[in-house]
Copies of this chain bind each other. A is one copy, B any other.
C-alpha cells in the first residue's frame, strides 16, 4: 500500500476538521476518499467542500458496504465509538477513534478485542500526547529521574462552560446523549495524560461529584477524586466546568523531587540525594536534601490531531509505533467510570471496576435522562465545540 484511503464518520467540528486536514494533504500518505454523516446539511457541506473527489454517505451501513477505504476515523458522539469501531474492524479496516474510547469499559473491552482479532492498526485521538511538555514529564518519570512516585495532583478546572453552551444541544450533558459531563467530555485528555505520564493506574478510587451543581444539567460539572496506587502513592484529580478562570496545574512528587506543569512550563525540583536515602542516613534532626529548581527545556511543538493522524497512517504504511494505541483508551475511561461509580455509591471503588455494575448504574441514569436519543437524530451527531 502506498496511500491509505480514509473515510471519516461524523462531520461535526472534529470530523470536518480532520477531513479538511487530510483533503488538504497535511497527512503524509493519506487520502480522503469518503465521509459519512446522517445529517443532510453536513453531507451538503462535505459535497461543497470536497466536490466529487470524496464519496458521501448518509447511512453507516451504506458507508461500510460501499466506501473505498482502508481506514476509518470515528468522530461521532461518544456512545457510537465502540460499535462503529467494531463494525470497521470486522470489515478489515484500520481505525482511529476520537476520545473518549467510549462511555463504559464493557463495550470498549469488546472493541479492543475486535481490534486485536482484526490485526489492524487501532489508534486513539489522544492528541495531547503529542505535546512535548507531557512527553517530557513522561520521560523524566520513566527514565527514573523523578524516582518512585509518592503523590500526584491535577487541578484541571479550566473548562468553563456557561449554561448557553449546554443549552446549544439537547444531547449535551445528558446521560443518554453524552453519557456524562466534565469527566467524559472535557477531561479525557488529562485522565489519559495522568496515567500515561506517570505509568500508574489507581488501585482504588474515592470520588465526590456535583451533578448539575453549577448548571441546569443532569450530569456532573464538578469532581474531586482521590486515588491510591499499588505502590502506596496517593493522587487527587479535580475538575469542573463551573469555575472561571480555571486552573491547570499538574504536580507529581517522587522520591527524587517534584515536577510541576503549569502555565505551559515544566519545573523540576530535583533532589541531589533521594529522599528515602536521606531519610535513612541523615542524623541531624531538622534538615532536608539539597534541591535544585530546574526549568526543564521543552523542544518541539505540539502537533495535535495532525500529529496523531500522521502517526496512525505511518503505522499503517510502515509499521511505526503508535503514540496513542487505541487499546489504551480503556485506561482513562476506566478511571472515569470508577469516579462515577464511587460518586454514585458514595463508597470506595476498587480497580479494575465491576464493569457490569457500572453498566447497570449507567442504564438507570439513561432511563431517567431528560434527553431521549431517539427523539432527535439530527443533533445526536452534532459534536461542534467539543475537543
Which residues in A have some Cβ–Cβ distance to B below 8 Å?
A: 150-151, 153, 155, 157, 160-165, 168, 206, 208, 210, 213-215, 222, 224, 226, 228, 232, 234, 236, 238, 240, 242-245, 247, 251, 253, 257-258, 260, 269, 271, 275, 278-280, 282-289, 291, 385
- With CB as the reference atom, state the residue of chain B lying closest to A269: B245
Query: Could you give 25 example pairs across A and B, Cβ below 8 Å?
Result: A150-B243, A151-B157, A157-B253, A160-B288, A161-B286, A162-B279, A162-B282, A162-B285, A162-B288, A164-B282, A164-B284, A164-B285, A165-B286, A206-B206, A208-B234, A222-B234, A236-B236, A242-B275, A242-B279, A243-B258, A244-B257, A244-B278, A244-B291, A245-B258, A245-B288
Contact A385 B243 (CB under 8 A): no
- With CB as the reference atom, state the residue of chain B lying closest to A278: B162
Contact B275 A243 (CB under 8 A): yes
Given contacts A164-B285, A245-B291, 15 further A-B contacts (CB under 8 A): A151-B240, A151-B243, A162-B278, A162-B287, A162-B288, A163-B279, A164-B283, A164-B284, A236-B236, A242-B279, A244-B271, A244-B278, A244-B288, A244-B289, A285-B385
Partner of A238, one of B153, B242, B258: B153
Q: Note all chain B residues with C-beta closer than 8 A to A165.
A: 285-286
Chain B nearest CB: distance from A126 CB in Å? Answer: 22
Whether A213 touches B242, Cβ cut-off 8 Å, given contacts A153-B155, A155-B251, A162-B279, is no
Q: Note all chain B residues with C-beta closer than 8 A to A162.
A: 278-279, 282, 284-285, 287-288
Chain B nearest CB: distance from A4 CB in Å? Answer: 33
Q: Note all chain B residues with C-beta closer than 8 A to A164.
A: 282-285
Contact B240 A213 (CB under 8 A): no
- Provide the bound-state CA to CA distance between A93 and B260, in Å: 50
Contact A279 B226 (CB under 8 A): no
- With CB as the reference atom, state the residue of chain B lying closest to A153: B155
Contact B226 A213 (CB under 8 A): no
Contact A224 B234 (CB under 8 A): yes
Q: Note all chain B residues with C-beta closer than 8 A to A283.
A: 164
- Provide the bound-state CA to CA distance between A19 and B210, in Å: 51
Chain B nearest CB: distance from A272 CB in Å? Answer: 11
Question: Which of A160, A162, A243, A251 has the most chain B CB atoms inside 10 A of its CB?
Answer: A162
- Provide the bound-state CA to CA distance between A164 and B280, in Å: 8
- With CB as the reference atom, state the residue of chain B lying closest to A282: B162
